[in-house]
Amino acid sequence: MSVLAVLMALLIEQARPSLPMARLRAIYAQWLEWTSRNFDAGSARHAAVVWSLGVLLPSVAVALVDGAFSRFSLLLAFAWHVGVLYLTLGFRQFSHHFTGIRDALDQGDEMRARSLLARWQEVDASELPRTELLRHVIEYAVLASHRLVFGVMFWYVLLAALGFGPAGAVLYRLAHLAVQHWAQRHPIDAEPLNPNVLSVAQRLWHLIDY
């Protein structure tokens, strides 16, 4: 069922890209802020609690829902797997950026290619020569495909062997989003963050992404 669920989710995403992802990321960011605000007392132990509530708890909840659906109906469980993968796999979240830059380079429009790269990665690409531009595009595309597709698929298939496939996909995706959120968190817009929270999140993310 796991392989079929992955294929179905990718086909659905091609037909209808995961439009609610930006909204879901905003909701998840609010959840991370709530956990850090209410359970962070400044120590490394509390940072681990914050990460567990922010990343591990939603993954466990997904596993519990999957278990309940599996007991009730295999078809409902399959639909749950496809739905979770649809929201966690992000092939279209980077492929259109890569395609746009490739098309601009094929047309000889390097300025547009640099502009698209800068918009995609939020970096200054105005002075990059063509060879460096190509290198950066390939590097970012490979990294994005790993983190938005293959990493999610790996953890889904790995835990599917134990009966927790959707939880694996959610664990990988949320661990990455948590690191991104806490690393980019602006202290002016929110309360100061315990540095242990980001440190714990980064260590666990490196372990999960290893």
Confidence band of 186 (pLDDT split at 50, 70, 90): low
Q: 3-state secondary structure string, the chain?
A: CHHHHHHHHHHHHHHCCCCCHHHHHHHHHHHHHHHHHHHCCCCHHHHHHHHHHHHHHHHHHHHHHHHHHHHHCHHHHHHHHHHHHHHHCCCHHHHHHHHHHHHHHHCCCHHHHHHHHHHHHCCCCCCCCHHHHHHHHHHHHHHHHHHHHHHHHHHHHHHHCCCCHHHHHHHHHHHHHHHHHHHHCCCCCCCCCCHHHHHHHHHHHHHHCC
pLDDT digit string (tens) for 72-125? 888 999 999 999 998 888 766 666 667 777 777 777 777 887 787 777 766 676
Average pLDDT for residues 168-181, to the nearest whole number? 94
pLDDT digit string (tens) for 34-62? 998 888 877 888 899 999 999 999 999 99
Q: Is the pLDDT of residue 3 over 90?
A: no
* Total-model pTM: 0.83
